[in-house]
Structure 1
Amino acid sequence: MPLGQMSEFGKLEEDPDPAQGLVEAQLSGAAIPWSLSQDSSSSSSEEEPGPGPEPEVAQPLVQTTLHMKAVHLVAFLLLKYRTQQPTSQAEMLEIVGEDDQDAFPVIFGRASKCMQLVFGVDVKEVDPSDHSYILVPVLGLTWDGMQSGGQGLPKTSLLVVLLGLILLEDEHTPEEEVWEELGVMGVYAGQEHIIYGEPRELLTNVWVQEGYVEYRQVPGSDPARYEFLWGPRAHAETSKWKVTQYFLQLNLEQPASSLALSEGAVRDEEEGA
């Protein structure tokens, strides 16, 4: 890793991003509706019998180590995304450290899933021969909510959640139902969020101006009520099928509703909607 890049990452570790607590919660599957399965990591913690802590003690220690390595890798990937730089497996192995390189697939898997679900960023392999990767917004979307100069945090994941909620409600969803669902995620109108800022501004102003959603009065409502629909930019950049597949990972709805959503998206894709 270039010296300048190492110094930037060192600074990031010393002065961690305020979202680190949210990242740690996500990787633990705690307090966030889109919990990550850690089943895939169980095999990596199996050790041959020998001197050391008892198995019931060793397992939590191994999981804690993998957890913290994944948090550090997420911080590194966020830095790469902010600076619009590619990365490679070799660079990420430096972050993981020599002692845990055998567990790299597990650590990388957790970090990649966190980037996707918390920040709406895909870690995409572009050259399998040297395991190089780029970081891009999910689902073909081009908006990430970053400020100029790479300031702030990617906000694409919340946009995808809103687009998914709209699909769940037959392609137009009442505003009050949106806030009820987002409240499960700890996102409230008028309350500053550590990643998304003031979410009402995003939903009813920024994304409307960007063309991702329409925000309109429900016809005939008195007193006035409002609802959200997909905007033209959402239709142009992604598809109902892609959003459905992403949204099903979040597990926000009962299986029957999710199945209906998936079937509807498949039908629309086949009809060319």
Structure 2
Amino acid sequence: MSELRKAAEDLQDPRDSRGLMDVQQMEAEREGGASPWSSSSSVSSSYSACAVSLLHDAAPSMVTDLVGFLLLKYHRKQPTTRAEMLSIFLREYQDHFPAVFSQASEYMQLVFGVDVKEVDPGGHWYVLVPTLGLTCDGMLGDGQSMPKNGLLVMLLCMIHLEGERLPEEEVWGALSKLGLRAGREHFIYGEPRELITKVWVQEGYLEYRQVANSDPARFEFLWGPRAHAEISNLQVLEHLHRASRRGPSSFPSLSDEAASDEEEEA
């Protein structure tokens, strides 16, 4: 376990190091949880179900290797092509590429907060960019750690779905399902309390404040000014649609709200 975890943290080339996502799966199963992607609403329950499937289904080695390769490309800020991926991973299994690539892309988005975007359909060129158009890369400036934006995107979506503010106890209840606990290092996300109450607060993505007139003191999370500046309601809705594999009609109230907000901004 420790050797696999070190390989994942070092972002080694997948041709030299295997099992990136298997490590995460084993970590989640060891903690006996399902996924942090949950809240009290039916919409977030659907989103949770998608993440549970991604994090707990055994990923074929081709998928885990491709995820490691895509992480390396993201770390180096390099694009890639379908031809490059096929030449490295799937020379003899080209018919499997669409399914493998699709699953790897879902891991990248939900776990690491990285979108794999096709920028040249003719040449099948892809770039790797932060989900929701965030301007931070999620690696916290050290250049070595794995991107942590998957956790940030999850929190921002939970806050949005719960009416723009989320009690701290609900946050920790959700995070505990992935083995994320205050004071305990996670091999992808690090120490979560420092990350969500200080780092992302200082970066302006989250606001962490005491609930008015609460005694004993209770705290809650809201979107920070940088999140409001970079993300629209429509982007959140579209992200939830992709994650849950449902269309806009499945979330009529959210769809109407987002459309109304976009019209006002226009």
Answer whether TM exceeds 0.5 for this pair. Answer: yes
Letter in 2 for 1:197: G
Q: Is the 8 A contact 2:18 2:64 kept in 1?
A: no
What residue in structure 2 maps to residue 222 of structure 1?
215
Q: Is the 8 A contact 1:214 1:229 kept in 2?
A: yes
What residue in structure 2 maps to residue 139 of structure 1?
132
2:81 to 88, 98, 108: 88
Q: CA deviation at 1:171?
A: 0.5
Q: Is the 8 A contact 2:34 2:177 kept in 1?
A: no
What residue in structure 2 maps to residue 103 of structure 1?
96
What residue in structure 2 maps to residue 208 of structure 1?
201
| CA 9–202 in structure 1, closer or farther in 2 if over 3 Å, else same | closer
Q: CA deviation at 1:71?
A: 1.0
What residue in structure 1 maps to residue 148 of structure 2?
155
Question: SS in structure 1 opposite 2:265?
Answer: coil
Q: TM-score, normalised by structure 2?
A: 0.76
Q: Is the 8 A contact 1:72 1:95 kept in 2?
A: no
Letter in 1 for 2:24: L
Aligned pairs for 1:48-197 within 5 A: 67-148=60-141, 150-197=143-190
Matched residue pairs, number?
232
Task: Tell whether 2:241 aligns with 1:239.
Answer: no
What residue in structure 2 maps to residue 49 of structure 1?
none
Higher relative contact order (CA 8 A, sep 6+): 2
Q: TM-score, normalised by structure 1?
A: 0.74
Letter in 2 for 1:170: G
User: How much is the aligned-residue C-alpha RMSD, in angstroms?
Assistant: 3.1
Deviation string 1:158-191 (CA, Å, 9 cap, x unpaired) is 1111111111221111111111122223322222
Q: Is the 8 A contact 2:19 2:61 kept in 1?
A: no
Q: Is the 8 A contact 1:160 1:243 kept in 2?
A: no
Q: Is the 8 A contact 2:113 2:148 kept in 1?
A: yes
If you compute each CA radius of gyration, which structure gives the higher value, 1 or 2? 1
Q: CA deviation at 1:36?
A: 4.7
Q: For residues 183 and 252 of structure 2, what CA distance do their matches in structure 1 show?
A: 33
Q: For residues 18 and 83 of structure 2, what CA distance do their matches in structure 1 show?
A: 23
Q: For residues 80 and 243 of structure 2, what CA distance do their matches in structure 1 show?
A: 27
Deviation string 1:83-117 (CA, Å, 9 cap, x unpaired) is 11111111100222321111111111111111111
Gap regions ≥5 residues in structure 1: 1-7, 38-62, 252-256
Question: SS in structure 2 opposite 1:135?
Answer: strand
Question: SS in structure 1 opposite 2:195?
Answer: helix
Deviation string 1:127-176 (CA, Å, 9 cap, x unpaired) is 12211111010111011331546301011111111111111221111111
| CA 159–9 in structure 1, closer or farther in 2 if over 3 Å, else same | closer
What residue in structure 1 maps to residue 23 of structure 2?
21
Report percent identity of matched pairs.
53
Q: Which runs of 4+ in 1 moved over 6 A?
A: 23-26
Q: CA deviation at 1:213?
A: 1.1
Question: SS in structure 1 opposite 2:60?
Answer: helix
Letter in 1 for 2:86: L
Deviation string 1:212-254 (CA, Å, 9 cap, x unpaired) is 1111111111111111111110011111221233245556xxx
